[in-house]
Structure 1
Amino acid sequence: MGIVGLGLDICSIDRIQRIMSGPRAEAFLNRVYTQAERAVCGQRHDAASAYAARWAAKEALVKALGAPPGIRWKDMEVRRDGGPPYFALSGVAKEVMDARGLEAFLALSHDAGVAAATVVLQKRGE
C-alpha cells in the first residue's frame, strides 16, 4: 500500500529559547515533554535545539495522522537510543496508530536557526 501519511513541521529554535527563558518555561516544558525527553534535552548544551526538534516531530506526527481528537503532546515521546529517532507512543496517539495498523518513521534536522521533522506513516509490515 505504501505511504499512508506524511507530516512535516519546522520550529524556530529562538522561539523555544525565548519560551525557556521566560516565566512560563516550566509550565510549557511540563505540558509538552515527557520526563525522559526533559532528561535528554536538559543536559545538552543546545537544549533549545533539542526541544525544538521534538516539538517539530510531534507536530509532524499530528499532521500525518490528520490531527485526531484528544491527542496530547506527551502521548508522543521522541527517543534515539543510539540509532535513528523514533516515537514511543501512549494514549490517543498509540490507540490511533494501533487501530490503523500504522508505523511511523521519523527524521529530524537542525540548521539556520530552525529544527525540522518529517514523519512518514505506513501500514505495519509493508
Structure 2
Amino acid sequence: MSAETRDPSEKEGIRRALAEALGTVAGGALGLGVDVQLISEINSDNPNFLERNFTPAEIAYCRAAPDPRASFAGRWAAKEAVVKAKMNVRPEGKNYTRGGGAPLIEIEILPGNSGAPTVIQHGRALENAREIGVAEIKVSISHSGDYVAAVALAFIRPGQ
C-alpha cells in the first residue's frame, strides 16, 4: 500500500512511530533543515534587506564581526535551515512561510553564552512553532571559503 492510499490515522501512527525512533537517535529531534549560501550573494550593504530580515541585535553583531558579509550570510543560512526544519516537522501541514520573499526577521540567530548560535523566534514564527509542537531548535553554522552552511534540528515537545 502506498503512502498516498494509507488511512490518515495509520499515517499518523507511522509518523509517531518514526518520531519516537528518531527521538531515540537524535534526542527528540524531528525536523531537519540544511542551507548552503554563497557569501557574495548576501547584500549586506542594502539597509532595506537588513532591516527586513535581521533584528537590530543581529545587525550589530554581524557588523562587529571580522567579516560582516560572511556573518550575515551565516545567519541567513541558519534562518533558512530553521524554516526547513520546521517544515519537516509536519510536512503534510500548511505552509506558513509566505513564500521565498517572506522576511526572516522573526527568526533571530544570536550567539549564546558559549558562542554557539541560538535560535529565538518571534511573532508568527513563534506561533507556528507552538502550533506544530516545536519546543526548541538548535543550529550550527560553518564557514568555508566562499560559502557558509547551516544545519537546524527542531525538537518536539514530548507527546506531540
Secondary structure at the counterpart of residue 20 of structure 1 = coil
Give the structure 2 partner of residue 93 of structure 1. 125
Give the structure 1 partner of residue 53 of structure 2. 32
TM-score, normalised relative to structure 1: 0.86
Identity of aligned residues (%): 32
For structure 2, the residue ranges without an aligned partner over 5 or more in a row are 1-19, 24-28, 88-94
Give the structure 1 partner of residue 13 of structure 2. none
Matched residues in 1 for 2:152 and 2:103: separation?
Answer: 17
Matched residues in 2 for 1:78 and 1:6: separation?
Answer: 17
Please list every run of at least 4 consecutive aligned residues from structure 1 whose deviation after the TM superposition is greater than 4 angstroms. Answer: none
Mapped pair 1:122 → 2:148: no
Mapped pair 1:15 → 2:41: yes
Secondary structure at the counterpart of residue 57 of structure 2 = helix
Counterpart selection for 1:57 from 78, 99, 102: 78
Secondary structure at the counterpart of residue 51 of structure 2 = helix
Secondary structure at the counterpart of residue 28 of structure 1 = helix
For structure 1, the residue ranges without an aligned partner over 5 or more in a row are none
Count of aligned positions? 121
Relative CO higher for 1 or 2, CA cutoff 8 Å, sep ≥ 6? 1
Counterpart selection for 1:106 from 139, 149, 152: 139
CA contact under 8 A between 2:142 and 2:148: conserved in structure 1? yes
Give the structure 2 partner of residue 44 of structure 1. 65
Counterpart selection for 1:81 from 94, 98, 112: 112
CA offsets 1:37-92 (integer angstroms, 9 cap, x no match): 00100111200110000000111111112252457411100011332211111011
